[in-house]
Amino acid sequence: MNYTVKPVVLGTLEADQSGFTYMVSPGTPIVLEVAFFLIEGAPKRILVDTGSWAALMARYWPGKGTDFQTFEEALAKEGLTPLDVDIVIQTHLHHDHCGNTSKCTNAEVYIQEAEWIFAKAPHPLQSQYYPQELYAGWRKRLIRGDHEIYPGITILHTPGHTPGTQSVSVRTKLGRVVIAGFCSTYHTFEDPAQVLGADHPFSHWEVFTPAIATDLGQAYNSTLRVKTIADVLLPCHGPGLGKIGRM
């Protein structure tokens, strides 16, 4: 059985590219998409993340945010309400990925146990990304490592950005679509030798990696894992997710 995946963009957030291509392109502004992903074809209605909105993100991130549509408006276009969501797979618990999760009161929320433990007492360098009030009322399901939701829909533990970051692999007619759960853009997965030139000191890297990380080595390995196994790769911050449509 094949499923479909649809990225849904709620807005944008300004950032610096070097946050997503470790030590490369500092001072280069980029625009991140703030999105969630709708998985269809399973017995239950599944979202990967729930996104956020500009006013909330402004409390925890220095870049300017812009809203395109609310979470409720986006779901309504799919014939859904937050109460219709059965499962939310939280890639990690940063504010821009789980801002609307508390609205999905009927949903079971899949979280890596390591992420939940870290979120309750984050390191000072990451504490601003973990607003405790966002987690109120969740029906949590804590998991450890890779976990199959349904045949063809698998959670992948991809740590490094945070201890419990998870990505999601979905079998579709296009092959294996992987939603990269760590804060990444398409730049993150480019070939450094092609981007930088063969003589650059970083040209031997196989991928770039997010600079916002609790473990840079794990972040690199997770980035490479996702790039290697995906037939179609969807970085969680795009940009360009809004033009893709259902796949």
pLDDT tens digits, residue range 165-180? Answer: 999 999 999 999 999 9
190-205 average pLDDT score: 96
Domain residue ranges in the chain: 4-243
Report CA dihedral (115, 119, 124, 125) to the nearest 10 degrees: 50
pLDDT confidence of 1, banded at 50, 70, 90?
Answer: confident
Give the model's pLDDT for residue 4.
97
Look-up: residue for tokens 């698998």?
154
Per-residue pLDDT tens digits for 124-165: 999 999 999 999 999 999 999 999 999 999 999 999 999 999
Q: How confident is the model at residue 83 (pLDDT cuts 50, 70, 90)?
A: very high
Q: What is the pLDDT of residue 149?
A: 97
Q: What is the pLDDT of residue 245?
A: 86
User: Taking a C-beta distance cutoff of 8 angstroms, is the pair 170, 151 a contact?
Assistant: no
Closest to 60 (Cα-Cα) out of 168, 132, 4: 132
Question: Can you give the pLDDT at residue 208?
Answer: 96
d(CA 123, CA 179): 26
- CA 121, distance to chain mean position in Å, is 21
Q: What are residue 150's DSSP bridge partners?
A: 153
CATH of domain 4-243: 3.60.15.10
Q: State yes or no: pLDDT of 81 exceeds 90.
A: yes
Instruction: Return the amino acid letter for 11.
Output: G
Distance CA 232, CA 210 (A): 19
Cβ 115 vs Cβ 163: under 8 Å = yes
**234 closest CA partner among 9, 45, 1:** 9
pLDDT at 67 over 90: yes
Q: What is the pLDDT of residues 207-218, one digit of tens each?
A: 999 999 999 999
